[in-house]
Amino acid sequence: MGYQLVQIVTLLTVIAFGGALRKVRGECNSDDLEGLMAFKNGIQMDTSGRLAKWIGRSCCEWEGVVCDNATTRVTQILLPGLNEKDFVQTQMVGQLSPSMTLLTSLEILDLGGLAGLSGAIPQTIGLQMPKLQKLYLYGNNLTGPVPESIGDFPNLQELALHENRISGSIPSSLGSLRKLKRLLLYSNQISGTIPFSLGSLTNLVELDVHDNALMGHIPNSIGQMLSLEKLDLSSNMLSGSIPSSITNLTAISVLYFDTNYLEGTIPFPSRPGEMPSLSFLRLHNNHLSGNIPPSFGYLVSLQRVSLSNNKLEGALPSSLGNLHSLTELYLSDNSFSGQIPKSIGQLSQLIMLNISNNLIQWPLPQEMSSLQNLQTLDLSFNPLNLSSIPPWLTSMSSLSRLYLAACGIKGQIPDSLQTTQSPIQELDLSGNLLSGPIPSWLGSFSQLYLLNLSSNSLELHIPDSLTNLPDLGVLDLHSNKLTGSITGVFNTSQQGTSGGSLTYIDLSDNNFSSGVEAIGVGEQLNIQHLNLSHNLLKGTLPGSLGRLNSIHSLDLSFNELASNLPEVLAKLTLLENLKLQSNHFSGNIPNGFLKLRKLKELDLSDNVLEGEIPKGKPLIDFPGSTYSGNKGLCGKPLSPCKL
């Protein structure tokens, strides 16, 4: 009976005072209220509508504000720009108020991805918010430096300031944040050096400072950050060598040092067990030298490796075959020599292999035919002297992109290529010694997007089958001995094909003599680059040329085209490059050319044009050489016209 009486009394108390309890729980500490209202008043626009509901003094009930039930102090401000529930992106435009530091009990501040939030991070933020654990200000428009006081957060675990316009240097005080797990400063304007003190962050899991202006050497202390799983220092101006201490990072999985000025040799592991979890390694676009040692094979977890565009040399080690998890390998633009090791056939997971622009020699190991998951193979610009395309390439069931430019291939394009087991999407055989006709069976490659047969000695005409490929976007046949008409390239709406896919056409440096009347007639209206220069084309430019309203570059120079310049050229308002020199164009330059506001390069020289050059930009901004060789032209930038 006594226990039941206590329950009844308790229930009556809750009923009687429940409203008051809720009111106390919702009321704001005066400092917190002042800080929140200062933030709200600094925002001119909030597309989410959340701040409009911040009315009265009960801030603990406001959207995005979380309070401690016991103290009623504000502990969290959660106002991210992206709502993860419905993936709606919102924006706030205004200034970050320095009065935010009045919220001294704050543990989480999330103002990330608001896009329009500007101002600077308060200089005293670390001194006035001692309980802060997570600070998210990424994806805004913040300027100024990272305050030195940020190192005074004793409990800070995550600091995300990426994708702003923050400048200055990385404060050395960050080394005091012993609980810090994530430090994200990428895509800012931060300069100076990487502080040696960062080596003290032994709990740090992720450090990302890519896309800044950092200079100097990578500190050797970086090898002390034993919890580090991701380290991204790419796209800066770092110099010197990669510290050997990097091999101490036993937890590292992602290591990106690419696009800097690093030099010296790469400190690969010296024994098994070093860097056992390294999966993604990017060192491209540096000045690294030396060779790839056999110990490279100790990195058994590697999945993607990019060492392109360095000064690496020597033979590729057979230990490459130990990297059974490897899916992508980029070694282009170095000085690797010798032969591709036979062990490469053991990389059964390999999807991408790029060894272009090296000194690799024949023979190619037939073991490469075992790479049944390989989708892209680029061996271009190596002294392979292949003579012909290896027949075993056709048995690779996943190969869809094949680049064999300047590999010394001779004779006709081999018919064996048409028996390939995979649907070829990109084929580059440029810069070889190919002769004979373009085979009509190339038209059976129904998924072909890119075809580059340029800089060979191919003859006869373009086969009709080639011009009916529905997905062909890039057609490069320049510098051959092709003849006949170009009509078929533009009439691609036949035989039920979708047409309109071609965006890049280069037929220059051939012997084509007819077909200009077809330009713009078919469905190829998405063309952005068209080069027909250095041919024997005759006739007049058709009015249908004006339908190519996506074109950026048009080169018809060094042909035998005649008549007036068509007015419809003025419709091509996206044109940046227009070359019509060394033809037989006559008459005046149309006034409509003044509409070509995006023109960066114009050449009308060596024609029979006459009259005054239309006055105005962009025509008057080009040098006199643009119009030279036209005896009848006058006006700026040439000599004034005679009255």
* pLDDT tens-place string over residues 98-130: 999 999 999 999 999 999 999 999 999 989 999
How much is the average pLDDT of 439-451? 92
The answer to whether residue 19 scores a pLDDT higher than 70 is: no
Between the alpha carbon of residue 312 and those of residues 168, 296, 405, the distances in Å are: 34, 14, 22
Tell me what pLDDT residue 6 has. 32
* pLDDT value at 580 more than 90: yes
CA–CA dist 635, 643 (Å, integer): 11
Would the pLDDT of 10 be above 60? no
CA dist 73 and 166 (Å) reads 30
Binning pLDDT at 50, 70 and 90, where does residue 416 land? confident
Q: Is the pLDDT of residue 15 over 70?
A: no
Distance from the Cα of residue 526 to its chain's centroid: 23
What pLDDT, on a 0 to 100 scale, did the predictor assign at position 419? 84
Which residues on adjacent β-strands are paired with residue 160? 136, 184
Range of lowest pLDDT (83-92, 321-330, 496-505, 586-595) = 496-505
Hey, what are 232's tokens?
């991204």
pLDDT digits (tens, 9 = 90+) for 277-307: 999 999 999 999 999 999 999 999 999 999 9
> 390 or 533: whose pLDDT is higher?
533
Q: Which two tokens stand for residue 77?
A: 């401000």
- The pLDDT assigned to 500 comes to 60
pLDDT confidence tier of residue 466, bands split at 50, 70 and 90 = confident
Of the pLDDT bands very low, low, confident and very high (cuts 50, 70, 90), residue 8 is very low
**Identity of residue 444:** S
Amino acid letter, residue 361 = Q
Question: Is it true that the peptide bond before 341 is cis, omega within 30 degrees of 0?
Answer: no
Q: Per-residue pLDDT averaged across 443-468, rounded?
A: 92
What is the C-alpha separation between 566 and 569, in angstroms, rounded? 6
> Please, which pLDDT band fits residue 492 given cuts at 50, 70 and 90?
low
Written as one string, the DSSP assignment of 86-153 is TTEE--EEEEPPGGGGG-TT--EEE-TT-EEEESB--TTHHHH-TT--EEE--SS--BSBPPGGGGG-
Q: Quick one: what percent of the chain has pLDDT higher than 70?
A: 94
538: helix, strand or coil: strand
What integer pLDDT is reported at residue 24 of this predicted model? 36
pLDDT beyond 60 at 64: yes
Alpha-carbon gap, residue 519 to 487, rounded angstroms: 8
Rounded Cα gap, residues 259 and 238, in angstroms: 9
How many whole angstroms from its chain centre is CA 219? 28
What is the model's pLDDT at position 194? 97
pLDDT reading at 211 higher than 50: yes
- Asked if 619 and 641 count as a contact pair (C-beta separation under 8 A), the reply is no
CA angle centred on 596, ends 590 and 599, rounded to 5° = 120
Mean pLDDT score of the chain, rounded to an integer? Answer: 90
* pLDDT-based confidence at residue 469 (cuts at 50, 70, 90): confident
When pLDDT is averaged across residues 424-438 and rounded to a whole number, the result is 95
Which residues does 9 contact at the CB level (< 8 Å), separation at least 6? none
Query: What burial class does residue 172 get, using C-beta atoms within 10 Å of its C-beta: 0-12 exposed, 13-18 middle, 19+ buried?
Result: middle
Of 280-284, 348-352, 441-445, the least confident: 441-445
Give 427's pLDDT tier (boundaries 50, 70, 90).
Answer: very high
Q: Within 27-100, where are the H helices? A: 30-41
Whether the full predicted model's pTM is greater than 0.85, yes or no, is yes
**Residue 420: per-residue pLDDT:** 84
**What integer pLDDT is reported at residue 83 of this predicted model?**
78
Query: Tokens 């200055």 sit at which residue?
Result: 168
Give the model confidence (pLDDT) of 232-260 as tens digits: 999 999 999 999 999 999 999 999 999 99
For 187, half-sphere exposure in the C-beta direction (CA atoms, 13 angstrom radius) is: 11
pLDDT of residue 7: 34
In this structure, are strands 92-95 and 43-46 parallel, antiparallel, or unpaired?
antiparallel
pLDDT, tens digit, for every residue of 162-173?
999 999 999 999
Q: Who's near 554: CB < 8 A, 6+ residues apart?
A: 530, 548, 572, 575, 577, 578, 579
Q: pLDDT of 550-560, one tens digit each? A: 999 999 999 99
**Cα dihedral 132→134→135→139 (10° resolution):** -170
What confidence score (pLDDT) does residue 387 get?
Answer: 81
